[in-house]
Chains A and B, each alone.
Chain A
Amino acid sequence: MSVQTRPQEDLSPKKPDGEIVNDFSIEVATVNGSGSQSSNNVLMRAIFQMGIPISGKNLFPSNIAGLPTWFTIRASKDGYMARKKEIDILIAMNPETAREDVENLEPGRVVIYNEKLNLSKIRDDLVYYPIPFSNLAGEVVQDARLKKLIANIVYVGSAAELLGIEMAEVELAIAKWFKGKQKAIDLNIQAAHLGAQYIRDNLTKRDPFRVQRMDKTKGKMIIDGNSACALGSMFAGVSVMTWYPITPASSLGEALADYMGRYRIDPETGKATFAIVQAEDELAALGMAIGAGWAGARAMTATSGPGISLMAEFVGLAYFTEVPVVIFNVQRIGPSTGLPTRTSQGDIFSLHYLSHGDTKHVVLFPASVTECFELSIHAFDLAERLQQPVFVASDLDLGMNNWMTDPFDYPEKPLDRGKVLSAEDLERLGEFARYKDVDGDGIPYRTLPGTDHPLAAYFTRGSGHDEQAEYSERPEDYEKLMDRLAKKCETAKKLVPQSVIQYTDGAEIGVIAYGSTDVAMRECQEQLRNEYGIAINYLRIRALPLAEDVKEFVSRCKCAYVVEQNRDGQIGDLIKLEVENDQGKIRKVLHYKGIPIDARFITDQVVACEKGEMESSCR
């Protein structure tokens, strides 16, 4: 197929002659621990309250105080939520990174900065707004520490004035953030006004970026993926949650503790209908969850890469003994400690095949906060239905960043507690063999400890066992057991969330993605169509094991680009194993810088590949 040349005027940034409305990105460069979190949130919320779709991303160091951190807010009238490659407005508050931050900008962009930093000397092709933040903050508070904090809200006021964000919305966002702490609210509002006033009195707007009220956020909410997973888990009826602190998964456990404390205390007894335990390490965290799953509770743990490595042995135990448990992996960059505060999709292989011996695990890939909520609920049903560990693989971008979304639907489907036999069932059946494939789907029946029936007890062991759960090293017993587990994996293919597939008329090429890459894919499709006239078919994988639909998709496409946020194209390799004769059609688009993937990156790679310019990435 022919590839159109991208129109030249789109390659350079918009010049400040025309206005650019509701379509820009702001980057606030600060130092972590300086209290900018509240200001950035207020700025983001104020734009959101004006009806403009936003997303907020925090690029932070693995550190508590004193190192550079960047918060980006993207306002997009089209509702694009992925990271925008270009920064349009830089708010430079960190002297250490200011020069580099300014140097990285495209011409014509905006710099709002602390006057003292003297940044305008660096380049002359940007729009500069120097503001004496500390002096202005000093008009509100005298205390040095408070002054630093207040200086942050001053830039919110200045940015609001420059962009045309209504001050009433800034005030509302401040009130919302500081929830009833009147003194803090008053101080912050005063400081924001000073920031705005300074612009009016001293500076003239010379850039094209501005906001204009829309109605695209009505009824929407802003939530991070970890909170959405926590909320989903609560409505899935989780009752035992065990975890060990690790970035970027800690906030999942903390959010769950918060929600459960609010909504899962039995009003009749005042007792908790759950146990949340911070374990001594990830091994113990998963051990407890498996113990609880074995004894019949809905149990989960949440972790990230290094925790997954530590859990390998226990995951094998749960797989082999067939105990349900849900494991959330909020992926970060590895191997080893890697970049603990940067995002990745690098754990695909390790999750699917975790532990020694032949294993194959179910992995779910939520692509949005809505799916974080929904697939969390699905994960618990699957774990109990299949009697095995189920992973929910999100990532730092999805898990810790702010996403705008429609409200979640209340789960209507009752909990699926799987094949559990009660004392009455046992009485009726008159026999029980723990590991027998009664229904031909590879999933046996289980009893829970405490079931008061002579047939109920069985011996759970990580060593070889037969259908009766008796110890066995007999070759045929082992082979039979492994074959049944493989059959269960086939059953799983039918039960896991199916791929979301979109065929486009006239499209020859296919793109396959999963997880948080999806938000960039939506924008990428528009870019490919509008700028290059390329229509694509798109398949979004939602689970492992891969189902038949992936195979069919690849066979129907001329070639399939698999877009991932890891170095080796791990899902791409898994697809290659599935498609056999179509392996040559798989091309990998790989983004592994630790920052969330952006649409332009994918578009450029696909276009270059289609033109034959980038052989190396068309592996």
Chain B
Amino acid sequence: MSVSAPKPKRVNRLGLTMIDYRGEPSTLCSGCGHDAISSQIMKSFYEMGVNPHRVAKMSGIGCSSKTPAYFLSNSHAFNGVHGRMPSLATGAVLANRKLVCIGVSGDGDTVSIGLGQFCHLLRRNVPMIYIIENNGVYGLTKGQFSATADPGSKLKTGVVNDLPPIDCCTLAIEMGCSYVARSYAGDPKQLVPLLQGALSHSGTSMLDVLSPCVTFNNHQGSTKSYRWAKEHEELLHQIDFVPHFEPIETVVYEEGELREVEMHDGSRIRLRKVDRDYNPTDRDAALRMLNETRDSGEFLTGLIYVNPVAENFLDLLNLPDTALAALPQEKLRPGREALEEAMQGLM
């Protein structure tokens, strides 16, 4: 038997392997949608060549909020209090704009207890990725409805939800979010380019990802189950992502078949038509589409709305390129003459 040279390790543009993007073993239920999402986060961060040391993983409370432990162990993380991750993330990004900030939240953490902070995060267009692992149910407290549960959906215990759901995507667009996508934990082909697009975006990217709870909300009659998602998913388009550091290939498509969105960092999102011609930069059309598909009971996925040039919060505040946290004392403490002058006005 001949000895062959070891297979060269696959590395990304930083020379890092997939292992460098791993987390600790998940403690979630086997088959949980959240773990599938964690895998796609690792994959997209690896492929984009994001330095793990620059990443800040933020979360609140709940099953979803535990997941930052299960990816990117070489990144700092802050698992805070229930529903308040947006404010912690905002503060972290204000202090250090060089951080790549990713927040993972759930439907309860986001639109039940955290509705206020979520809305204001979007209004401010804070540069970060905000993932909602949406399963319509509180898993960690053993299966109560959240505010995204559909009316008529039934818990295993037989309890029926009779309140209308909050649609995270409609809400996000209304709140001024500049990157709004919906996807499904069982569709990595779509989720990875959406995450990569989010990594290229300069404002808040909100990804509402249906992530079935295998223990409490995956049964017959649930509208957040694997089966329901598969049966009702309506792809808005096929998505490809061309990162800014790769050469742009020319692709030939028929007229009206392809839309291309150029992102802040020069990356491109390519959207191929499936059933309908859809322009994700048209805010009104996005809202119409969300309303229509909600009424027809379709589970619409894809890049629903994007505004790649929206001014983010840090630029609005006229922050420097250097992180505020890295400013030396000379920049932080004004000189003697400043104190003299300030006091002169009070004499």
Contact = CB atoms under 8 A, between A and B. Distances in A.
Interface of A: 219-223, 227, 231, 234-240, 242, 259, 262-264, 266, 269-277, 279-281, 283-299, 313-314, 317, 321, 407-408, 410-411, 414-415, 447-454, 456-463, 471
25 contacts: A222-B346, A237-B332, A259-B342, A271-B318, A273-B331, A279-B120, A284-B86, A284-B120, A287-B87, A291-B78, A291-B90, A292-B94, A292-B325, A294-B88, A295-B99, A410-B336, A411-B333, A415-B329, A448-B76, A448-B96, A457-B76, A457-B77, A459-B79, A461-B77, A461-B79
Given A221-B346, A223-B346, A239-B332, 7 more contacts: A221-B347, A262-B338, A275-B94, A291-B88, A292-B95, A448-B96, A457-B76
Interface stretch (B51-59, B197-205, B248-256, B261-269): B51-59
Given A223-B346, A235-B339, A452-B51, A294 B78 contact: yes
A313 B113 CA distance: 14
A197 B86 CA distance: 63
A292 B92 contact: yes
B39 interface: no
B51 A275 contact: no
Interface string B314-347: 1001111101111101011110101100110011
B81 A240 contact: no
Contact of B76 (A219, A272, A280, A456): A456
A459 B77 contact: yes
A296 B95 contact: yes
B75 interface: yes
B74 interface: yes
Contacts of A240: 91, 94-95, 324
Contact of B87 (A227, A270, A288): A288
A451 to B, nearest CB: 7
B238 interface: no
From B69, B81, B87, B339, name the one whose CB has the most chain A CB atoms within 10 angstroms: B87
Contacts of A447: 76
Contacts of A281: 116
Contacts of B93: 291, 295
A159 B117 CA distance: 53
A314 B78 CA distance: 13
A264 B334 contact: yes
B75 A284 contact: no
Interface of B: 51-54, 56, 58, 68-69, 73-81, 84, 86-96, 98-99, 116-117, 119-120, 314, 317-321, 323-327, 329, 331-334, 336, 338-339, 342-343, 346-347
What 5 pairs between A and B have smallest CB-CB spacing?
A291-B91, A287-B87, A237-B332, A296-B325, A297-B95
A291 B338 CA distance: 29
A461 B88 CA distance: 12
B332 A408 contact: no
Contacts of A231: 339, 342
Contacts of B69: 459, 471
Contact of B91 (A236, A242, A262, A321): A242
B339 A291 contact: no
A270 B98 CA distance: 19
Contacts, number: 219
A450 B80 contact: no
A348 B346 CA distance: 31
Given A288-B88, A297-B325, A450-B96, A272 B320 contact: yes
Nearest to A469: B77
Nearest to A279: B87
A273 B91 contact: no
From A414, A452, A454, A460, name the one whose CB has the most chain B CB atoms within 10 angstroms: A460
A415 B91 contact: no
Contact of B81 (A236, A292, A317): A317
Nearest to A48: B347
Nearest to B83: A283
A223 B324 CA distance: 29
B116 to A, nearest CB: 6
Contacts of B79: 459-463
A449 B346 contact: no
B85 to A, nearest CB: 8
Contacts of A408: 339, 343
B89 to A, nearest CB: 6
Given A281-B116, A294-B78, A275 B324 contact: yes
A237 B90 contact: no
A284 B84 CA distance: 7
A288 B78 contact: no
B92 A457 contact: no
A234 B334 contact: yes
A451 B53 contact: yes
B80 A462 contact: yes
Given A263-B338, A453-B53, A407 B343 contact: yes
Contact of A235 (B54, B56, B333): B333
Nearest to B123: A280
Given A263-B338, A284-B86, A292-B94, A274 B76 contact: no
Given A221-B346, A240-B324, A266-B320, A293 B91 contact: yes
Contacts of A288: 87-88, 90-91, 94
Contacts of A223: 346
